[in-house]
Amino acid sequence: MKYDIIVIGSGPGGYIAAVRASQLGKKVAIIEKYSTLGGTCLNVGCIPSKALLDSSHHFYDAVHHFEEHGISVEKPSFDFSKMIERKANVVETTTAGIKYLMDKNKIDVFEGLGSFEDATHVKITKNDGSSEIIEGANIIIATGSKPANLPFINLDKERIITSTEALKLKEVPKNLIVIGGGVIGLELGSVYARLGANVQVIEYAPKITPTMDGDISKELQKVLKKQGMDFFVSHGVKSVERKGDEITVIATNKKGEEVTFTGDYCLVSVGRKPYTEGLGLEKVGVKVNEKGQVDINSHLQTNVSNIYAIGDVVKGAMLAHKAEEEGVVVAEFIAGEKPHIDYNLIPGIVYTWPEVAAVGKTEEELIAAKIDYKLGKFSMRALGRSRASGDIDGFVKVLADKKTDEILGVHMVGARVADLIMEAAVAMEFRASAEDLARICHGHPTYAEAVKEAAKAAWDGKPLNA
């Protein structure tokens, strides 16, 4: 069978590429090795983790905040199995929605492992051992990533686990050790901390969320510590051992001293790595870099001109929305259009509570690049909306060019900032100044007013409510 485009992988990048290509009149096939569509994000990543984050957030509020609202709940309790069941139902509904999109857009779906026979032919090896070969004028690699590990850690997937297993535990850990203070470790650590686990986060870097603005990391650590999580930054893990149901982790602190941690579960969340096993890239000569990422040019083309790659399998942040945008760009480029993507304006989000969101340059990046900037900051505590809801932690920070006033970066910690960050992204897409943002009338009382106030603080140093 011949296709205009074959997509290998049905995660956010792959299925969006397939849908957009079909909208543009292309005959499209998509190959997925698992029985459900949606890839890591929908099955064992973004969607299930947010379902558990929401469930645990409700319970945490019932225990800690209902009383201040005048709501009486006698000794709140939870059924963890029902939380897991709800999460599974959310995943099932969402993946079924992807199947609907494939049918609606007349995209042929093949279940099995896709591997290159040559530059235009892909072999699909099915679970029953049978196989078939399909032909595509263009092929998009969208095979995503899988959890990374440290070479000396034996992941037994029972007590020493990755994010995949952390989403389907049978019980709430009593003492959870989290190796890695990035997005995944903090989100899943938050889930279990809210449900009563003692959570200890070990991070090699001198701060949690190492790639984010320093002020953000500091504020988030302070707030999560207040919620009961413990942090050990500048600690390098040396060994992880299991004896029965007890896990022992030995790490070295910045003074070179050994520190021992014990728990009943250990979540290893040290990042993710590109997944290319079984693709047969060597058969077609597609180049892979030293990090295992597929090499691409500015059009997301590999060194084999009709083969493209998107998402976690290529360079850049491993984010579902980044993969989606790349999927659209490739589909449109193949169709002869002239799309673009600004990687500087892809927001980064942490779905703890309060949430964390950022777009553009960090203050550290501006200092390193020797760019003169000005800074405006506004505390969520000063907002009427925040006081009304009780969500007073966090701030909005706006960085703008000292000469031109153009917004260079926006960083937020607070309620609903995962949604608020898009106001900054839109403004920066149109190269708005801090004054532009400050002069836009914002509804009152809203969390978004913090963005206006921080922008005014960056523009003229005079926020109105601080």
Q: Which residues are catalytic?
A: 444
Amino acid (1-letter code) at residue 37: L
Q: Is 381 exposed, middle or buried (0-12, 13-18, 19+ CB in 10 A)?
A: middle
Closest CA to 296 of 347, 23, 281: 281
Q: In what order do the strands lie in the sheet with 198-202?
A: 160-161, 265-268, 175-179, 198-202, 230-232
Report d(CA 163, CA 184) in Å as an integer.
7
Q: Coil, helix or strand for 367?
A: helix
Strand ranges for 381-454 from DSSP E? 395-401, 407-414
Give the number of other CB atoms < 10 A from CB of residue 81: 10
| Alpha carbons 7 and 139: distance in angstroms, whole number | 6
- Cite the beta strand spans of 244-354 per DSSP E: 246-252, 258-263, 265-268, 272-274, 307-309, 348-350
Q: Are 149 and 161 in contact (CB under 8 A)?
A: no
User: CA–CA separation, 406 vs 440, rounded Å?
Assistant: 15
Cα gap 407→366, rounded to integer Å = 12
Q: Compute the distance between CA of residue 76 and CA of residue 66 in angstroms, rounded to an integer.
A: 10
* Angstrom distance (rounded) from CA 447 to CA 382: 10
CB atoms within 10 A of CB 73: 11
Q: Name the percent of the chain in helix, strand, coil, to the closest 5.
A: 35, 25, 40
Structure tokens at 332: 């449109």
Amino acid identity, position 137: A
Of the candidates 100, 125, 101, the one whose C-alpha atom is nearest the C-alpha of residue 32 is: 125
CA–CA separation, 198 and 413 (whole Å): 23
